[in-house]
C-alpha cells in the first residue's frame, strides 16, 4: 500500500487526539502503530477506516484521497476491512450469518454464494464446525477469528486491526497473531494497532510510534525496534518489553 497522512488533526471537544500527524509510506505491506494509550493510535486507525472525519489534514490511500461526504465514505468503507478489539460481532446472528449478511446486503452477492464464501472462510480458520453457533457460544479467540473472516470476506484492499488481541489470553493472542501473520504473508495489506512488540517487530515491515497526537518516530520496523532514536521511544520499548 501507499499511504500518506498529511498534517492530520482530530479533536473531540476540548481534547486534541491528533495534532498535526504526518506519515508517508511508499510501498508497505504491514504497518504497525505503537505508542502509549491515549496517544492517538486508534484515532489514526479510525480516520484511515473512514469511521470518523478528520478535523484537518488529508489521508491518501494508494493515491486516492479518503472522501469527506458521508455517502462517499460509505463506499470507501466497503473497500476496507476492520477488526476491532472486542470482535464487535452481531450477537443475534450465528458465525456464518455474521460473515454472509454484509456480503449479501452491502456487496450485492447472491445469498447462496455469500454463504458458500462465508463457509469457506470459516473452514480456512478452522471454524467449520462452529458456523451455526452464535458469538455467545464461542470463545474469544474463535470470535476474533470470525471477525477476521468477516473483514476478509469482500476481499478488501486493506485490513485494519485495532488492538486485535487486547481482549484475549496469551494462548489465544498467539493464535490470532499467527492468523494475521499468515494474511500478511499471503499478500494482504494491513495496518495493526498493537501492544505486542514481538509481533510488530517480526511481522510488520514498517512501524510508527505515535505519542501526543503526532508520529514521534517512524521507519522500517527493524530500524525502529533495533535502534530507537528518541529517548521517549527507548523508554516506551523498555517498559513494554519489561514483563
Partner 1 sequence: MRALLFQDPDSDPTAVRAAAKWASATLALSFLCLLALAAFASLEYNWNWSAVFKYKTKFIEGWLLTIQVSSVSLLVACIIGGLSALSARSRFLPLRYLFKIYVEGTRGTPLLVQILLIFYVFADAAHLENRYVVGVLVLSFFSGAYVSEIFRAGIESIGSSQLLSAKAIGFTPYQTFRYIIFPQALRRSLPALAGQFANLIKDSSLLSIIAIEEFTLNAQEVNTSTLSTFESFFPLAVGYLILTLPIFHLSRRLEKRLAFDS
Residues that bind partner 1 (CB under 8 A): 49, 51, 74-75, 77-78, 80, 82, 84, 86, 88-92, 101-102, 105-107, 136, 150
As measured in angstroms, the least distance from the Cβ of 133 to partner 1 is 13
CB hemisphere CA count around 64 (13 angstroms) = 12
Closest to 209 measured CA to CA, from 32, 83, 44, 58: 32
User: Closer CB to partner 1, residue 98 or residue 218?
Assistant: 98
Q: Cβ neighbours of residue 7 under 8 Å, at least 6 residues apart?
A: 20, 21, 22, 56, 57, 58
User: Closer CB to partner 1, residue 77 or residue 195?
Assistant: 77
As measured in angstroms, the least distance from the Cβ of 197 to partner 1 is 26
User: Closer CB to partner 1, residue 168 or residue 207?
Assistant: 168
User: Closer CB to partner 1, residue 35 or residue 102?
Assistant: 102
As measured in angstroms, the least distance from the Cβ of 224 to partner 1 is 28
- Whether 11 and 43 have beta carbons less than 8 Å apart is answered as no
As measured in angstroms, the least distance from the Cβ of 87 to partner 1 is 9
- Chain position carrying cell 501492544: 195
Give CA–CA dist 25/4, Å, rounded. Answer: 6
Amino acid at each position: 500500500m501507499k499511504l500518506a497522512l498529511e498534517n492530520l488533526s482530530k479533536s473531540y471537544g476540548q481534547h486534541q487526539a491528533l495534532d498535526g500527524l504526518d506519515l508517508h509510506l511508499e510501498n508497505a505491506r504491514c504497518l504497525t502503530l505503537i505508542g502509549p494509550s491515549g496517544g492517538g493510535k486508534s484515532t489514526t486507525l479510525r480516520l484511515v477506516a473512514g469511521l470518523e472525519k478528520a478535523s484537518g489534514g488529508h489521508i491518501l490511500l494508494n493515491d486516492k484521497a479518503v472522501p469527506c461526504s458521508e455517502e462517499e465514505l460509505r463506499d470507501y468503507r466497503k473497500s476496507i476491512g476492520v477488526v476491532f478489539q472486542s470482535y464487535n460481532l452481531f450477537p443475534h446472528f450465528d458465525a456464518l450469518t455474521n460473515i454472509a449478511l454484509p456480503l449479501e446486503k452491502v456487496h450485492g452477492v447472491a445469498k447462496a454464494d455469500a454463504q458458500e464464501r462465508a463457509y469457506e472462510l470459516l473452514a480456512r480458520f478452522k471454524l467449520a464446525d462452529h458456523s451455526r453457533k452464535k458469538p455467545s457460544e464461542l470463545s474469544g479467540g474463535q470470535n476474533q477469528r470470525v471477525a477476521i473472516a468477516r473483514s476478509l470476506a469482500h476481499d478488501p484492499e486493506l485490513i485494519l486491526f485495532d488492538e486485535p488481541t487486547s481482549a484475549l489470553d496469551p494462548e489465544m493472542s498467539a493464535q490470532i497473531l499467527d492468523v494475521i501473520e499468515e494474511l500478511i504473508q499471503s499478500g494482504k495489506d494491513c495496518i495493526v494497532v498493537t501492544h505486542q512488540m514481538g509481533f510488530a517487530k517480526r511481522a510488520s515491515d514498517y512501524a510508527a510510534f505515535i505519542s501526543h497526537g503526532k508520529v514521534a518516530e517512524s521507519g522500517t520496523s527493524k530500524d525502529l525496534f533495533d535502534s530507537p532514536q528518541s529517548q521517549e521511544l527507548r523508554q516506551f520499548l523498555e517498559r513494554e518489553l519489561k514483563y
